[in-house]
Amino acid sequence: MADRDDLIEEMDEIRPNAPMRTETFRLNRPMIVSSEAPDDPFPIRMVGEVQHGFKRGSRELGCHTANLPDDAIAPMTSKVKTGIYFGYARVHPECPEGTPSEMPEEDFAVWPMVMSIGWNPFYKNEKLTAEVHIIHQYAADFYGHTMSVVVLGYIRPELDYTSKEALIEDIQTDIKVALNSLKRDAYQRYETDPSFEA
């Protein structure tokens, strides 16, 4: 029992506690964030092969997510704090490991995205992850495909929740905030960022 308690204590030292989401926070969320143009350190560009995650996004939260490998998220983790971010992402036809998924051409276009980088405190993750929700309905899974991401701004801090329903509500708000924030010209131009052509 002592060993288990020691392990939990070590994990807690590694995984910081996130603040609890409050009703005041929910009622006062802005529906557009960031300046009129991306501020330093944005844009941040990442690329990597889509990894298998916890499969919670679609099954429990109604929100498909694509996980980037640890080495791909280094440009992000070295510059920003944990939280929810927005920008654009593209799944490429290339699938370096395995068989490419059969998907229509539109699935390989650039789409808006919301990204969580952190410990997912509601689920008590033991490692830092980057989970990208591309705001598009895909025809098939795309594990192993190369994905490019351009992060353009910060939406909110990583929070803990008293219920799954509260988390889902915030995810849906995050999507609306991202879409609203990307409507500005200085953000829309990143939809054709050269990194998406690689």
- For the annotated catalytic residues, the residue numbers are 131
Residue 46 has phi, psi (to 5 degrees) of -140, 150
**Run of H or E including 86:** strand 83-91
Nearest Cα to 154, choosing from 67, 32, 34, 46? 34
The residue assigned the tokens 């490019």 is 148
Pairing of strands 110-118, 44-49: unpaired
Long-range contacts of 73-76 (CB under 8 A, 24+ apart): 73/46, 73/48, 73/117, 73/128, 73/130, 75/44, 75/45, 75/46, 76/44, 76/46, 76/117, 76/130, 76/151
Cis peptide before 38 (omega within 30 of 0): no
DSSP sequence for 102-113? ---GGGGSEEEE
